[in-house]
Amino acid sequence: MPAFRSEHVIPGQPLVEMHHVARRFIKRRDRHRSFQDRFIRLLSRRNVEHEEFWPLRDVSLVLRPGESLGVVGPNGAGKSTLLKLVTGILPPTSGDLVVNGRVCSLLELGAGFQPDLTGRENIYLNGSIYGLTRAEMNARVDRIVDFAELGDFIDTPVKHYSSGMYVRLGFAVAINTDPDLLLVDEVLAVGDASFQHKCLAAIQDYRAAGGTLLLVSHDLNAIQSTCTHAVWLEHGLLQAEGAPIDVVMAYLAEMARKEDVARSEREGAGGVAEPVMPGRWGNGAIRITRRVMG
Amino acid sequence: MWARLREIWRYRELIRNLVVSELKTRYKNSVFGFFWSLLNPLGMMLVFTFVFGFLTPNVQIERYPLFLLTGLLPWNYFSASVQGGLHSVVANSNLVKKVYFPRGVLPIATVLSQLINFLLAFIVLFGALLIFQRQFSPWLWTLPFVILIQTVFTIGVALTLSTLNVFYRDTAMIMDVVMLGWFFLTPVFYSAGILPNSVTIAGITFDPQRLLYIVNPMASLINIYRDLLYWGYRTDIDFFVRTAITALLVFGFGFWFFVRYSERFGEEL
């Protein structure tokens, strides 16, 4: 069995364990799903082309309770696929994946809201999508209502909500389900600045209370400040793993190198080689002269 | 399989919420609201009684409104569940692609919301019973079991078709026609007794009456409903057991089929 999931955390066991996990996609246009398609294919006697791509080729990682793992990598590196595998939306094509404990993702806030139901009714509906019972939701509903800061709107159908209110309610439910593992994709662009701050504070509280976090972000500062360790995912493989600072630096160095290559290609074969300063990162195009700790 | 069933049981709260929200949204912005669950069968009863009671008087069945309702209500429950269940996964693709939960709750919730509708429509049926019925079956208490058997059967069909519809949207189109044919091949508005005892097509002789009950579980179920509610006696126990076993087999297949392919819903939708 390639994937094993259990709702409960097993003491002493990691929450997520991946061994040589790979995931394949077959490009849609090559799938002959309708009879019409099949018929045309039959007539044209074309061979079935399997144009496949592998967002994840060989990924092994372990996430233990209380840890916080940051994932960095360029667009299309397979980060979202990785999260979908952990949530259980997609199964791995090969390799072993074990997930213990209840996973809650902040990928799609408010997915599953029913427009005609009120905010309060949607809290219960959304909670049950995350697998909580009515009693568990009763214990949380006040906390969620307080957190979402929707005032009287809580008893209004959510179709009348602004998009900001929508995500605020979604976030309030998700963070208050007390998951064993929280998945966060990208910086939370939720509501206004003060609510964003509240969201980040809530994630910090969750971490402080021993919660486990899997954070995918292009915000390398967030990775360094929140994560206990990090991985750099690219071309479906882990390019680096370890302390966030090391991974981020390696990633940045590679990004800068690529940029240099691209620039020297633009400038022709006789491009000027940039001076590389020993013991320093980068090409010297920008220099940090001062930093202020907030 | 057992683990998957247990997982669905753990998500029963979600099923409950989906049923409630489906019922709430079904009759929103309508003046009569949930009364439509009663008005709809009442209206259909009037139409059928008019057509088959007055326009075609040669096939008279006594107490026709009651006869019709005992077939039509279970049929409507089945038909609406199949049509709704068929679309349940595709219609919730947004949710399926973004959150993990046992996908089986979607068709199950659709069928159960139709079950609530069916139970409400029983108010109309019991009204008709009070008007037309002369004797009540001492076996009336078995009715909940009959409804349970039908529900199990219907969920099995809904699971199978909702899976197929994810991979081939043709399923919905095909089922439009199939359900029409199925309706006419089920003794809903006629009695199976009017069918001939032997028919020869292309040199093969068969008995449509017997065949109806062998290959069409809905015919068997409606037969049991009629025995209990219209004729007012009990149904043969072996007939009852055979129908129950068929329903369980259909459910077993549907659940296995659904579980086997539901892993791929995330990429297919």
pLDDT in tens, B38-48: 898 899 989 98
| CB within 8 Å: B99 and A133 | no
pLDDT for B181 equals: 95
Asked if the structure places residue A289 within a domain, the reply is no
Range of the domain at A115: 110-178
In chain A, residues with a C-beta closer than 8 Å to the C-beta of B174 are none
CA nearest neighbour of B90 among B14, B171, B170, B166: B166
Distance from CA of B169 to the nearest CA of A (A): 8
pLDDT in tens, A183-231: 988 756 666 788 888 888 898 899 999 999 999 988 888 889 889 999 9
pLDDT in tens, B116-143: 999 999 888 888 888 887 777 888 889 9
> CA neighbours within 13 Å on the CB side: how many for B97?
11
Residues A35, A40, A44, A45: what is their CA dihedral angle, to the nearest 10 degrees? 0
Is the CB of residue B134 less than 8 Å away from at least one CB of chain A?
no
Is the CB of residue B174 less than 8 Å away from at least one CB of chain A?
no
Strands A3-6 and A103-105: unpaired
Query: Could you give the 3-state DSSP secondary structure of residue A113?
Result: coil
Asked if the structure places residue A134 within a domain, the reply is yes
Find the CB nearest A89 among B14, B16, B266. B266
More confident residue, B165 or B35: B165
Residues sharing a CB contact under 8 Å with residue B77, sequence separation 6 or more, in sequence order = B114, B115, B117, B118, B121, B150, B154
Closest residue, chain A, to B14 (C-alpha)? A128
| CB within 8 Å: A7 and B10 | yes
Distance from CA of B247 to the nearest CA of A (A): 29
Measured CA to CA in angstroms, residue A264 lies from A155, A256, A285 at distances of: 60, 12, 14
Is the CB of residue B29 less than 8 Å away from at least one CB of chain A?
no
Find the CB nearest A90 among B14, B18, B266. B266
pLDDT in tens, A16-37: 999 999 998 877 654 556 666 6
In chain B, residues with a C-beta closer than 8 Å to the C-beta of A132 are 13
**B233 near B227, Cβ under 8 Å?**
yes
> What are A22's strand-pairing partners?
A94
> How many helices (H) and strands (E) in chain A?
8, 10
Contacts A–B by Cβ distance under 8 A: 70
Calpha distance B4→A200 (Å, rounded): 36
Give how far the C-alpha of residue B64 lies from the chain's centroid of Cα atoms, to the nearest Å: 21
Whole-angstrom Cα Rg for chain B:
19
Determine the average pLDDT of the residues in A116-121. 92
| CB within 8 Å: B100 and A134 | no
Interface test with B, best of A109, A113, A120, A128 (most B CBs within 10 A): A128
Asked if the structure places residue A123 within a domain, the reply is yes
| CB within 8 Å: B28 and A128 | no
Calpha distance B95→B97 (Å, rounded): 5
**What is the phi/psi pair of residue B210, to 5°?**
-70, -45
Is the CB of residue A103 less than 8 Å away from at least one CB of chain B?
yes
Mean model confidence pLDDT for chain B: 89
In chain A, residues with a C-beta closer than 8 Å to the C-beta of B88 are none
pTM for the whole thing?
A: 0.86
- A window 124-163, beta carbon within 8 A of B: 124-125, 127-134, 137
- Please tell me the total count of domains within chain A: 1
Answer whether residue A275 shows pLDDT above 70: no
Asked if the structure places residue A273 within a domain, the reply is no
Is the CB of residue A25 less than 8 Å away from at least one CB of chain B?
yes
Is the CB of residue B168 less than 8 Å away from at least one CB of chain A?
yes
Is the CB of residue B9 less than 8 Å away from at least one CB of chain A?
no
Asked if the structure places residue A4 within a domain, the reply is no
Interface test with A, best of B17, B90, B106 (most A CBs within 10 A): B17
Is the CB of residue B33 less than 8 Å away from at least one CB of chain A?
no
Determine the average pLDDT of the residues in B170-178. 94
In chain A, residues with a C-beta closer than 8 Å to the C-beta of B173 are none
Crossing angle of the two packed helices B64-91 and B217-226, in degrees rounded to 10:
140
More confident residue, A156 or A286: A156
Give how far the C-alpha of residue A108 lies from the chain's centroid of Cα atoms, to the nearest Å: 10
Confidence of residue B246 (pLDDT cuts 50, 70, 90): very high
Mean model confidence pLDDT for chain A: 84
What share of chain B in percent tops pLDDT 70?
Answer: 99
Measured CA to CA in angstroms, residue B50 lies from A256, B179, B190, B226 at distances of: 82, 23, 14, 21
| CB within 8 Å: A111 and B99 | yes
Calpha distance B97→B94 (Å, rounded): 6
| CB within 8 Å: A84 and B266 | yes
Closest residue, chain A, to B11 (C-alpha)? A131
Interface test with A, best of B1, B4, B14, B166 (most A CBs within 10 A): B14
Is the CB of residue A2 less than 8 Å away from at least one CB of chain B?
no
Asked if the structure places residue A114 within a domain, the reply is yes
CA nearest neighbour of A26 among B161, B264, B165: B264
| CB within 8 Å: B100 and A103 | yes
In chain A, residues with a C-beta closer than 8 Å to the C-beta of B11 are 128, 131
Answer whether residue B99 shows pLDDT above 90: no
| CB within 8 Å: B98 and A131 | no
| CB within 8 Å: A107 and B267 | no
> How many helices (H) and strands (E) in chain B?
12, 2
pLDDT for B235 equals: 79
